[in-house]
Structure 1
Amino acid sequence: MKLLIALLFLVSSTCFALTTGEKAPAFKLKGLSKEVSLSDYKGKVVVLEWLNHGCPFVRKHYDSGNMQALQKKYTDKGVVWLSVISSAPGKQGYVDQAGALKDKMENKASPTDILLDPTGEVGKLYGAKTSPHMYIVNKDGTLVYQGAIDDKPDTEKDSIATAKNYVANALDEVMNGKKVTAHTTRAYGCAVKY
């Protein structure tokens, strides 16, 4: 019986996981000023960044300026960067539109938009488990990267200087017409608060 339960858990936890190389699931969420659909950005490279400013792993990247620098560098090159907040009401990281705008301004963040997913529907659709959990969708709408921002799963700002940044590497490869070499990595951070 225990083996059957373990197998059912394994099957249920893998059945809904996204596979890199497949079409990214469509979604529509409330942004800071309008409703946003993934299809709005057809023909563009899109980064999806799961966000919770209460998480020390997220703070590492924002307090150091690392995340904002990545956002600015790539949005200046035409990449669409969508920060997604899937924290449920009453849970750590939950914000409404006004709170998301305030966080954006206080953190001097530069995403294209911040999307609110308080039901967790889109986070669960993508299988976002942590913040930050990063996804890259290419111009054809194919998921080409999912996982960690880098290879330093800690909260130390000093480690960023020696980290291998998976997201930057994947974006550079996609933008140069190359196949993403490290297309799936293990995301690290705080659990998404569904």
Structure 2
Amino acid sequence: MKNLLLFLFAVLFSTSVMAQVNTGDEAPGFTYTSLENEEVSLSDFDGKVVYIFFYGAGCPHCLDNGPITEEDIYQPFMENTNFVALGLDTWNDPTSANQNFRSETGITYTLLLNARQSLIDYYGNASAYDRSVVISADGTVAYKGTGFVDTDTDQVVAAIESELSKISTSQEPGDDLPKGITLAQNYPNPFNPSTTLSYTLNEASQVSLKVYNMLGAEIATLVNERQPAGQKTVSWNALTSSGGALPSGMYIYQLKAGNQVLTKKMTLIK
């Protein structure tokens, strides 16, 4: 009986250790609540290149390396609509600890809470935090870091560039244009202080893209010109455009192209 128990323990232990993914494998999905209390799933970003920072909100070296993920990995690609960055707290720390983590690191991309299970899914254990993973647009693991974030930043950036290039080279200009204009949800949302807005024109048009408060007062004009057909992206820094005077809250952004008008809401958190 003792030998049988030892055998079963060994089988279970080896299975848990092996339960991880490698480069080229399908990326395990997940759904977690963000620091802003919004439900976020990996499947929300199908067709995009996703960067994941596995961190612990109370981890000292994660606090040191968090700014690297923001400045060297996220910001160079933040205006590309085919790119998304997510931080997953694998220590399952409370919201207050994650708020402090955001404040100390300066990270502006989305942070997800209670995400330890994903660390186990990707690495086979709960101790491989402070790691980077890049997921390709087709949902497979394009890069999986084996050391702390500060040891492989160049490889991560190269992987992101490579995966984004695959998307751009597979799309011919003018292909799959919509029948009318489209306006995407800004990202990140909520944001502080910068966010990216993207839209698509089915034909050349006089374009206006403006931001309003909830009372209808105009806050900023982001675009006011004639533009050719295609996908467009605009970055808006609420701090710069308003001199830092805008309060936290909900704002409206409105796209006008020809005789078509589209409107969406976004949330500024300061």
TM-score by length of structure 2 reads 0.50
Stretches of structure 2 lacking an aligned partner (at least 5 in a row): 168-270
Partner residue of 2:164 out of 170, 175, 182:
175
Partner residue of 1:145 out of 121, 143, 148:
143
Question: Residue 46 in 1 paired to residue 44 in 2?
Answer: no
Corresponding residue number in structure 2 for 1:115? 112
Question: Which has the larger strand fraction?
Answer: 2
Which is greater in Rg? 2
- For residues 66 and 140 of structure 1, what CA distance do their matches in structure 2 show? 26
Contact 1:150 1:165 (C-alpha < 8 Å) held by counterparts? no
**Residues paired across the two proteins, number:** 158
What is the identity, as a one-letter code, of the residue corresponding to 2:111?
I
Larger RCO: Structure 1 or Structure 2 (Cα < 8 Å, ≥ 6 residues apart)? 1
- For residues 14 and 73 of structure 1, what CA distance do their matches in structure 2 show? 35
Question: Residue 73 in 1 paired to residue 71 in 2?
Answer: no
- For residues 156 and 63 of structure 2, what CA distance do their matches in structure 1 show? 17
SS in 1 for 2:40: strand
What is the identity, as a one-letter code, of the residue corresponding to 1:30?
T
TM-score by length of structure 1 reads 0.67
Offset, 1:15: 3.0
**Change over 3 Å in CA distance of 1:152–1:61 after alignment to 2:** closer
Across the aligned residues of Structure 1 and Structure 2, the Cα RMSD in angstroms comes to 3.0
Correspondence 1:1-194 to 2 at 5 A: 8=11, 11-33=14-36, 34-62=38-66, 65-69=67-71, 70-78=73-81, 79-88=83-92, 94-96=93-95, 98-111=96-109, 113-117=110-114, 120-127=116-123, 129-148=127-146, 165-177=154-166
Question: Which has the larger helix fraction?
Answer: 1
- Post-superposition Cα deviations, 1:107-138, rounded to whole Å, max 9, x if no partner, equal 21122x100126x2222222264221111111
Stretches of structure 1 lacking an aligned partner (at least 5 in a row): 89-93, 154-162, 179-194
Identity of aligned residues (%): 22
